[in-house]
Amino acid sequence: MTRKKSKTPQWQDHYTRQAQKEHYPARSVYKLAEIQKKHRIIIKGDRVLDLGCAPGSWLLYAAEQAGGGGSVLGVDLTPVTIALPANVTVLTADVHDLRASAEQPLGTGYNVVLSDMAPATTGDRFGDAARSLALCETALAVADGLLLAGGRFVCKIFQGEDFKSFSEQVKARFDRMHIFKPQSSRKASREIFIIGLGKK
């Protein structure tokens, strides 16, 4: 009897198993870990804002990197159900509503703004890219308003016709801008990360 080959790619098996072993809810943590290793986005004692934080892998990793003297605030429409360390707070809300609130629940004075926000994909490359861009523009507006001088920004985006224009917007607001494709991303995926270092 011939054994059927698994349809699950080997890279996915590896990162998924590793995430389970290390008690992260999703394999996306390794994308942030690669970015951290290369660019040292999060420093001990930092205040971090994580947009699109569910299911919580980036929250856990950011909390580890910021340490007990730092703090992480996560925002997502989807509730985060995992146990979180004491230095993490989560708001289950739409970031657009929070920005518009007179109470300013997001606060200010962040060292880092992370955005792993992504639209529900439809298979329409152009439509998906446009929706991704809209989320990235929201994330950049949040970073522009809430980051301290010298702060850092990480944003996931689906590559589309407006990718270059958005990268120029990031470049205009930060001393240095980098484009990064983690090894833990699927090769066929159009997701890429734009990194801003040194908020002007």
Instruction: Read off the tokens for 129.
Output: 């890219």
Residue (of 200, 169, 194) closest to 39 by Cα position: 194
Q: CA separation (Å) from 112 to 12, 45, 84, 165?
A: 28, 11, 19, 22
Bond from prior residue into 55 cis (ω within 30 degrees of 0):
yes
**DSSP-assigned beta bridge partners for residue 195:** 154, 178
**Catalytic position from the list 4, 7, 156, 200:** 156
Known catalytic residue at 187: no
- Is-contact 85 111, C-beta < 8 A? no
Give the three-state DSSP class for 186. Answer: coil
175 near 197, Cβ under 8 Å?
yes
**Catalytically annotated residues:** 156
